[in-house]
Amino acid sequence: MSERTAAPAGQADGRTDDQADRRADRRAERRAERQAEEGERRADPRRRNNRAWLLVLPVVVSVAFTAVIPLMTVVNFSVQDIFSPGDRLFVGLEWFRSVSRDPEVRAAFVRTLLFSAQVLLLEIPLGVLLAVSMPRRGVWVSVTLVLVALPLLIPWNVVGTIWQIFARPDIGLGGWAVNNVLGLEFNYTLDATDAWITVLAMDVWHWTPLVALLAYAGLRSIPDPYFQAAQIDGASAWATFRHIQLPRLRGVLTIAILLRFMDSFMIYTEPFVVTGGGPGNATSFLSILLSKIAVGQFDLGPAGAFSLLYFLAVQIVCYVFFTVLTRTGR
Amino acid sequence: MTLIIDGVSVRQRGEIWLDDIRLELPSGMTTLLGPMGAGKTTLMRVAAGLSPPDRGRVLVDGRDVTSVSVRKRSVAFVYQQFINYPSLTVYDNIASPLRLDASFPRSDLDRRVREVAELMGIGDLLERRPAELSGGQQQRTAIARALARQVDVLLLDEPLANLDFKLREQLRADLKSMFAEAPGVVLYSTADPNEALSFAAPTVVLGEGRVLHTGDVADMYAEPPTLAVAATLSDPPLNLLPGVVREGRIDCLGASFPAPGAHGDGRGVVLAVRPHQVSIERGGPDLLEFPAEIRLAEVTGSSTYLHLMPAGGRHLVAHLEGARLFDPGEPATAYVDPAHLFVFDEVGGRLPATSAAGADLHG
* pLDDT recorded at residue A12: 43
Going by pLDDT thresholds of 50, 70 and 90, the confidence category of residue B306 is very high
Gap from B230 CA to chain A (nearest CA, Å): 32
Best mutation target, A219, A224, A233, A238, to test chain B (most B CBs within 10 A): A233
Instruction: Please give the average per-residue pLDDT across A296-322, as a whole number.
Output: 88
Among the partner-chain residues A228, A243, A246, the one whose CB lies closest to the CB of B77 is A228
Q: ipTM for the complex?
A: 0.72
Domain holding B206, by residue range, is 3-225
Given an 8 Å threshold on Cβ–Cβ distance, is A244 in contact with B79? no
B257 shares a domain with B210:
no
Q: Which residues of A touch B (CB under 8 A)?
A: 223, 225-226, 228-229, 231-235, 242-244, 246-248, 329
Asked if residue B361 belongs to a domain, the reply is: no
Structural domain total, chain B: 2
Other CB atoms closer than 10 Å to residue B36's CB: what's the count? 9
B71 shares a domain with B19:
yes
Residue A217's contacts (CB-CB under 8 Å, 6 or more residues apart) are A252
Given an 8 Å threshold on Cβ–Cβ distance, is B77 in contact with A329? no
The answer, yes or no, to whether residue A9 has pLDDT greater than 70, is: no
B79 shares a domain with B140:
yes
B49 shares a domain with B23:
yes
Average pLDDT of every residue of chain A: 83
* pLDDT recorded at residue A206: 93
Last residue of a domain, one of B196, B225, B254: B225
Q: Is the pTM of this model over 0.80?
A: no
Last residue of a domain, one of B197, B225, B253: B225
> Does residue B214 or residue A52 have the better pLDDT?
B214
Domain annotation for chain A: domains and CATH numbers:
2-90 (no CATH), 95-327 (1.10.3720.10)
B190 shares a domain with B130:
yes
Going by pLDDT thresholds of 50, 70 and 90, the confidence category of residue A17 is low
Last residue of a domain, one of B180, B205, B225: B225
The answer, yes or no, to whether residue B220 has pLDDT greater than 70, is: yes
The answer, yes or no, to whether residue A46 has pLDDT greater than 90, is: no
| B20-36 residue pLDDT tens | 999 999 998 999 999 98
The answer, yes or no, to whether residue B355 has pLDDT greater than 50, is: no
Burial profile B156-167: b = 16 or more Cβ within 10 angstroms, e = fewer: bbbbbbbbeeeb
Given an 8 Å threshold on Cβ–Cβ distance, is B100 in contact with A248? no
CA-based nearest residue to B203, from B224, B182, B183? B224
Chain B contact set for A228 (CB, 8 A) = 50, 70, 77
Task: Give CA angle at B203 (B202, B209), nearest 5°.
Answer: 150
The answer, yes or no, to whether residue A326 has pLDDT greater than 90, is: no
Given an 8 Å threshold on Cβ–Cβ distance, is A232 in contact with B79? no
* pLDDT recorded at residue B196: 92
* pLDDT recorded at residue A39: 55
Residue B298's contacts (CB-CB under 8 Å, 6 or more residues apart) are B304, B305, B306, B307
Q: At what angle do helices B90-99 and B109-119 cross, to 10 degrees?
A: 130
Query: What spatial distance separates the first Cα and last Cα of chain B, rounded to whole Å?
Result: 38
Residue A116's alpha-carbon distances to A120, A197, A260, B27, B142, in angstroms, are: 6, 13, 8, 61, 42
In angstroms, rounded to a whole number, what is the distance separating the alpha carbons of residues B1 and B75? Answer: 13
Do the bridges between strand B153-157 and strand B75-78 make them parallel or antiparallel, or are there none, so unpaired?
A: parallel
B62 shares a domain with B178:
yes
Asked if residue B360 belongs to a domain, the reply is: no
Among the partner-chain residues B71, B76, B86, the one whose CB lies closest to the CB of A248 is B86
